[in-house]
């Protein structure tokens, strides 16, 4: 079976238009693969381009060269150059993403925020809401808050909702960009437990983890973006 994620010779350069068109090469020929049941941790220092890589894989950034093959349905999709409708379908059915920040429409209740990826998959509303409630319980968001918008929550509560939303749909591939950012020790332990459970179910995960203890607890191996960083 092909890898869940297969990145080859990926190159991404940003053009700084406010600085005379200066070019900033960030990804310079990145190669890596992630298989089902793996959690690969990017071990490069801050500023090396880890989040940029995740955004390229998710289709938020368009690389200048290389390929990003993502297993989807019965085949693979090259996210470099894929049409927008295909990228959206990959995100809906195959590729989840937990970022450092929760971005939601104001006034939408937390329960609906977590249920939304399930509804996008065609899950009946009652089942989607029940699974969302279970996910919120796992990250210890009190039931009295479920009907409120997460924009009113503390930073730690928002991140726990973010994690619940990212894991609820059970995507076979998951990108994790500092999923335990802004969490206290008890909340970090909860999220680590959820990530390990997902990995044991066969989810393929690629992530950045500033907290070394979290990285050690969830990862099956480390990878670096560029050989010179090793």
Cα dist from 174 to 24, 132, 148, 158, whole Å: 28, 18, 27, 19
pLDDT attached to residue 228: 52
pLDDT confidence of residue 226: 79
Q: Is the dihedral of CA 116, 114, 198, 95 positive or negative?
A: positive
Residues in the chain where the model's pLDDT stays below 70: 227-230
Q: Please name every residue paired with 16 in a beta bridge, in sequence order, or none if there are none.
A: 22
Which pLDDT belongs to residue 79? 98
Nearest to 7 by CA among 63, 91, 73: 63
The pLDDT assigned to 100 comes to 85
Residue 227's pLDDT is what? 64
């Amino acid at each position: 079976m092909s890898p869940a994620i297969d990145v080859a010779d990926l190159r991404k350069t940003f053009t700084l238009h406010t600085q005379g068109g200066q070019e900033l090469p960030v990804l310079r020929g990145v190669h890596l693969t992630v298989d089902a049941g793996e959690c690969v941790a990017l071990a490069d220092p801050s500023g090396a381009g880890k989040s940029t890589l995740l955004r390229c894989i998710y289709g938020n950034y368009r690389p200048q060269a290389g390929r990003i093959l993502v297993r989807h349905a019965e085949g693979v999709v090259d996210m470099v150059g894929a049409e927008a409708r295909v990228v959206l379908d990959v995100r809906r059915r195959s590729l989840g993403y937990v970022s450092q920040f929760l971005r939601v429409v104001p006034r939408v209740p937390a329960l609906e925020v977590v249920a939304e990826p399930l509804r996008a998959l065609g899950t009946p509303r009652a089942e989607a809401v029940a699974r969302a409630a279970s996910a919120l319980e796992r990250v210890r968001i009190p039931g009295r808050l479920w009907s409120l918008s997460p924009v009113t929550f503390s930073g730690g509560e928002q991140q726990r909702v973010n994690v619940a939303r990212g894991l609820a749909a059970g995507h076979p591939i998951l990108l994790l960009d500092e999923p335990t950012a802004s969490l206290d020790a008890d909340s970090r332990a909860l999220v680590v437990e959820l990530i390990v459970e997902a990995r044991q179910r066969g989810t393929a995960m690629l992530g950045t983890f500033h907290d070394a203890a979290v990285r050690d607890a969830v990862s099956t191996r480390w990878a670096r973006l560029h050989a010179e960083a090793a």
